[in-house]
Structure 1
Amino acid sequence: MEEAGRRQPSRRGGRWLPGLLVRLLLWGCPGTRASYLRRSSSCTAIPRGMALCYDIGYSEMRIPNLLEHETMPEVIQQSSSWLPLLARECHPDARIFLCSLFAPICLDRLIYPCRSLCETVKRSCAPVMACYGYPWPEILNCDKFPADHELCISAISTDESSSSRRMPRASCKDCELEEASSAREILENLCANDFAVKIRILRKNTTTTVSDFDLDPSRVEVLKHGPLLRTEIPGRLQQWLDIDATCAHNIMRGTHAGVFVVSGEVQSDKVVVNKAYAWQKKNRNLHQAVRRWKHHRCPEQAARKV
């Protein structure tokens, strides 16, 4: 229920993320941490230069913000340092959480993110930050934020809405596309890994922060199956696409579909992709290596034959 005179956020300049008015729990109760505005606080348009939050679903923010940044240049500078984390797609609500602090929505009071939202994002994103030697910062200490029964911004993603896919695990590997200097180099790589497969990957959607990727089961060519059964490989690779969205995102490079030769290792109940090559006409070394692979003997195979 809305209070009379509450300022409504403008819809100008932004797509509305599903459910965003960030699912404010508007039944505040005694002890709420939603702060009434200081006289110096003002509404201002979220500029295009603020890539973290521009087009988040509302067009105006309060400044100073909840992290006590007092000027827009300071907000833009500080918020831009979080863009690499968003690129890792560690959690679908990471952007909402960060923007609730860097660009608080214009209401008649400051609304903090719920503690549960902070904890959920931290659980998925802190391990990714640790890959690069960064701890979860004290300014984002989840204990500072209100409990869910208070007036706060809650999560948009739910277990029910994401039940069809698993949350991506932290990956410290960049998993970029390889540029091989020779067919021999590719053959050596295929020999060094447990499996090698030529596959087609499809991007299932482009509307959420975390993309979904599907393996085209009709376009799976097993070059090397290693310890896996050939029939196991499509399912294992789909699992890889589900839990390591960062790697898939990097090799897709913004395209909606692509054919790749990937190789990797089997680790317990999952596969890990170590190398990925784009199957393109201009990549003659890759085409030559795949043609030669049928008759190629890896060093250990040649040694066993002798």
Structure 2
Amino acid sequence: MDSLLLMVTSLLIAYSHGLFVNLGTSTRCLPIPKGMALCYDIGYTEMRIPNILAHETMAEVIQQSSSWLPLLARECHPDARIFLCSLIAPVCLDRFIYPCHSLCIAVRNSCAPIMACYGYPWPEILNCNRFPTDDGMCISSISNKTASHRRTIPKASCRDCELEEMTSSKQILNTFCSHDFAVKIRISKRNTSFSQISDFQLNRKFEVLKHGPLLKTEIHSKLQHWLDLDATCVQNMTQGRNTGTFMIVGRIQNGKIVVNKVYLWQKRDRNLMHAVRKWKHYRCRSQY
């Protein structure tokens, strides 16, 4: 089942059991486990169970939270993780602290279009009208306070991370210029147990055409981390294949890899071969 479908399905299940946990329900504090990649190391160490979305066990929380990892990997909004964790792993205080209405609006406006690319609407359980206004007693946006220090990254689109077709060598070269990195990789599917996240592994041998801000010593680990989290992107690339070689192009956002363009590496694609050969001596235009 597609990871974004799992994400929406989990929310609909929670909604069918009631929008949020009953305020009179007894809760307990538990450590946020390392296996909960979405919220581990979020800035606090303990969370309340049941959570705001009425998940009653830690196993259920971990399972449901992993469904959101593909969306977060698309870097749709810098506060998306904070927003989701405030609901899934609420901080252990004397009462639940909800996300502010404005935080929900900001995350929804940036992330809903990415979900729409795959045919899923913003779920009703996250209807922003259900969250409190900014009165100092809710979780507000953090990115707005540091916006002046952030690098502007173009928003993802429905065409992001899909195999490019019928592209000229000139267009490919300009794409290399306008992005942070370009790397030729080979990936293969692991023979592992079922998982809600990507189960592809990166071959140790890869060719870096452009590494940008990436350190050469960290490229492999960051690429594998991207493979582990961005299941939607990998599914778009592989299209049912168990293995393949690709030229991936993208940007670095908040220290993470975001892949925007993917070219299937095949010898009959003369434009791609020509662009790669020419790249070493190609001079990018100044606007890039």
Choose from 109, 113, 125 the match for 1:127.
Answer: 113
Secondary structure class of the residue paired with 2:48? strand
Choose from 64, 67, 70 the match for 1:84.
Answer: 70
- Specify the structure having the higher radius of gyration (Cα): 1
Which aligned pairs between 1:42-121 and structure 2 lie closer than 5 A? 42-121=28-107
Alpha-carbon distance between aligned partners in 2 of 1:90 and 1:292, rounded to the nearest angstrom: 33
Question: How does the TM-score come out when normalised to structure 2?
Answer: 0.54
Aligned residue in 2 for 1:189: 167
Contact 1:90 1:125 in 2 (8 A): yes
CA offsets, 1:259-299, max 9 Å, x none? xxxxxxxxxxxxxx866699xxxxx9966555579xxxxxx
Contact 2:32 2:47 in 1 (8 A): yes
- In the alignment, structure 1 residue 251 sits paired with structure 2 residue 249: yes
Contact 2:169 2:274 in 1 (8 A): no
Amino acid at match of 2:99: P
Q: Which has the higher helix share?
A: 2
Aligned residue in 2 for 1:141: 127
- In the alignment, structure 1 residue 155 sits paired with structure 2 residue 153: no
CA offsets, 1:4-52, max 9 Å, x none? xxxxxxxxxxxxxxxxxxxxxxxxxxxxxxx996462000011111111
Amino acid at match of 2:55: H
Aligned residues with identical type, % of pairs: 60
Once the two structures are TM-superposed, the CA of residue 171 in structure 1 deviates from its matched residue by 1.0
Alpha-carbon distance between aligned partners in 1 of 2:58 and 2:75, rounded to the nearest angstrom: 26
**4+ residue runs of structure 1 moved beyond 4 angstroms?**
35-39, 191-195, 200-203, 252-258, 273-278, 284-293
The total of aligned residue pairs comes to 190
- What is the root-mean-square deviation in Å for CA atoms of aligned residues? 4.2
CA offsets, 1:212-256, max 9 Å, x none? xx979xxxxxxxxxxxxxxxxxxxxxxxxxxxxxxxxx6359898
Which aligned pairs between 1:222-233 and structure 2 lie closer than 5 A? none
Alpha-carbon distance between aligned partners in 1 of 2:180 and 2:256, rounded to the nearest angstrom: 4
Which aligned pairs between 1:265-276 and structure 2 lie closer than 5 A? none
Amino acid at match of 1:44: L
CA offsets, 1:71-93, max 9 Å, x none? 11111111111111000000000
Contact 1:176 1:251 in 2 (8 A): no
Aligned residue in 1 for 2:217: none
Amino acid at match of 2:168: L
Amino acid at match of 1:97: F
Distance 1:290 1:111, change over 3 A: closer
Secondary structure class of the residue paired with 2:107? helix
Contact 1:36 1:109 in 2 (8 A): no
Amino acid at match of 1:121: V
Question: How does the TM-score come out when normalised to structure 1?
Answer: 0.51
Contact 1:36 1:108 in 2 (8 A): no
Once the two structures are TM-superposed, the CA of residue 173 in structure 1 deviates from its matched residue by 2.1
Alpha-carbon distance between aligned partners in 2 of 1:59 and 1:129, rounded to the nearest angstrom: 30
> Bigger shift: 63-72 or 36-45?
36-45
> Bigger shift: 148-157 or 37-46?
37-46
Stretches of structure 2 that go unaligned for 5 or more consecutive residues are: 1-20, 182-210, 214-247, 280-288
